[in-house]
Structure 1
């Protein structure tokens, strides 16, 4: 993606999120220069990969296949073995109308996907066999605590205020907005986005590349390694 397009998506997404009364944390609005200047005090932000995350899944067609995310909080995956610590994460996301987030599952992350407002959030679901998406297998999910048995390929439609709970290595899912853009909340197990996503289509990459045609408005989480010097 071109940096100019990323900057545009950031501005549009911030405005959309604010329209629902949700405001991103202060560090979201740091310039790259301020982030560099505050790099040492912001080490926890960098380590947890909190912040802006815009992906076209490596396909170069964001409007067709893509997702806006902002990781608001996230712990350390290593703490899962200890059974204590910050074992949770939260994301704010936007799925645009008819914008596809490809079929995938998670290795460790259990998640609640919540329609916070806007259009209808459509989630397509399949079961798992041996770590692979099984299009002959249905799933069982909880929607706001209600158990639902779903046949393979079911398209669960969540209206604003509704949610679904998805479990790792069990629920293969893809999603998109219908009848408008959707503001999505995600509450989940602590996770590492660089390793936890398994896609059905081997062409898909969780993080795409950036073509630098202008300066970044704000840094993406995928920019941290390049734009912020290593701590001394």
Structure 2
């Protein structure tokens, strides 16, 4: 992805989050220099992937296949004293913009329609189970948990979530989602999130995008802050 495209996506998302009354934490507006100035005080935020994340899954067509998200809170996989055993994200699912079919091995998550940006728009979530090898299974019935109510659905069923509605996804459940009929602000509340190691796609895809630096970052991504922190450690040594 081009950095200019990432910048535009973030600026647009900030406005859309505000439209539904979702207020981002202060570190959402930090520049890379401000992240670096925080030094070791920001270690937990950086190591647990807090912040902006924009990806086209290295496919080069963000409008067709892509996702913008902001990790608001997260714990560490390793746990430990003072660790938060949960995570929260806020995302934008644009109309017909696909977050491709994937599953998690560890994470349990609620995916929530936090607000449709066009009247009547829904968050569409397509579901499949996985088999014993962790591959997508096209024959097994799925138990969909919709706002806590269990319901058997056929493989490949698409659930449409209206504002305020949610679905709980357990480890092993393949899911893809997109905005249906308009753009949707999407919330995620989950167990600890590990985007580096706990995303298993039904087709070969990269979780993070290579970036063409055609302009300066408007907001640094989690990959930018992690790289800057690593450089700071090396410099200190």
Same topology, TM > 0.5: yes
What CA deviation, in whole Å up to 9, does each residue of 1:142-199 have, x standing for no partner? 1011111000110001000000000012x11111101110000000010210000000
Q: Cα distance, 1:41 vs. partner?
A: 1.7
Q: Is the 8 A contact 1:138 1:153 kept in 2?
A: no
Match of 2:148 in 1: 145
Q: Which residue of 2 aligns with 1:57?
A: 57
Q: What is residue 168 of structure 1 aligned with on the other side?
A: 171
Query: What TM-score results when the alignment is normalised by the length of structure 1?
Result: 0.95
Contact preservation (8 Å) 1:125, 1:138: no
| Secondary structure in 2 matching 1:216 | coil
**Post-superposition, which runs of at least 4 consecutive aligned residues in structure 1 deviate over 3 A?**
82-85
CA-based RMSD of the aligned residues comes to 1.4
Equivalent residue for 1:17? 17
Cα 1:138/1:83, change in 2 over 3 Å: farther
Using the alignment, how far apart are the partners of 1:87 and 1:6 within structure 2?
30
Query: Secondary structure of the equivalent of 2:226?
Result: helix
Counterpart Cα distance in 2 of 1:125 and 1:55: 22
Q: What does the per-residue CA deviation read over 1:107-138, in whole Å, with 9 as the maximum and x for residues that have no partner?
A: 10000000001120000001111201011222
Deviations 1:188-212 (A, max 9, x none): 010210000000001x111011100
- Alignment-derived partner of residue 196 in structure 1: 198
Identify which of 124, 127, 130 aligns with 1:128. Answer: 130
Alpha-carbon distance in structure 2 between the residues aligned to 1:214 and 1:226: 18
| Contact 1:126 1:139 (C-alpha < 8 Å) held by counterparts | yes
Normalised by the size of structure 2, how large is the TM-score? 0.93
The separation in 2 between residues aligned to 1:138 and 1:176, in whole angstroms, is 22
User: How big is each residue's C-alpha offset from its partner over 1:83-121, in whole Å with a ceiling of 9 and x where there is no partner?
Assistant: 984110000011000000100000100000000011200
Is the 1:114–1:164 contact (alpha carbons within 8 Å) kept by the matching residues of 2? Answer: yes
8 Å CA contact 1:137, 1:151 repeated in 2: yes
SS in 1 for 2:232: coil
Do the aligned partners of 2:111 and 2:168 also contact (CA within 8 Å) in 1?
yes
Gaps of 5+ in 2: none
Q: Which ranges of structure 1 fall in alignment gaps of 5 or more residues? A: none
Whether the 8 Å contact between 2:32 and 2:225 is mirrored in structure 1 is no
